[in-house]
């Protein structure tokens, strides 16, 4: 679950080796904040989505910690 005001759009693809990858867009109140390139996530969809979730949560946490200073 994303913090209030945040949205995330994901386009997930699979390469010829069977690994998932994709691109993601993080927005805060409708403003583009970060385009994520997500390469070689995993060949299992559930594991790939977990890795995406972790990357998004980490990015938002780092952004919020910088915004407070």
Higher pLDDT, 39 or 29: 29
| Overall number of domains in the chain | 1
Q: Is residue 33 part of a domain?
A: yes
3-state helix, strand, coil in the chain (%, to 5): 35, 45, 25
List, for residues 6-16, the tens digit of each pLDDT value: 999 999 999 89
Spatial distance between the Cα atoms of 20 and 27, rounded to a whole number of angstroms: 22
Cite the beta strand spans of the chain per DSSP E. Answer: 6-14, 20-28, 31-42
Q: Is residue 53 part of a domain?
A: yes
Q: Is residue 1 part of a domain?
A: no
Query: Looking at residue 60, what is its pLDDT?
Result: 94
Q: Is residue 20 part of a domain?
A: yes
Query: Looking at residue 40, what is its pLDDT?
Result: 82
Q: Is residue 63 part of a domain?
A: yes
Query: Looking at residue 27, what is its pLDDT?
Result: 96
Q: Is residue 11 part of a domain?
A: yes
List, for residues 46-69, the tens digit of each pLDDT value: 999 999 999 999 999 999 898 665
Distances from the Cα of 14 to the Cαs of 5, 27, 30, 41, 49, in angstroms? 30, 24, 28, 10, 12
Q: Residue 7 forms beta bridges with which residues?
A: 27
Range of the domain at 23: 6-67
């Amino acid at each position: 679950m994303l913090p209030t005001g945040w949205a995330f759009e994901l386009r997930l693809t699979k390469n010829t080796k069977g690994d998932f990858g994709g691109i993601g867009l993080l927005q805060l109140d409708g403003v583009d904040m970060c385009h994520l390139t997500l390469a070689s996530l995993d060949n299992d969809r559930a594991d790939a989505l977990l890795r995406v979730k972790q990357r998004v949560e980490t990015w938002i946490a780092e952004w919020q910690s910088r915004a407070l200073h």
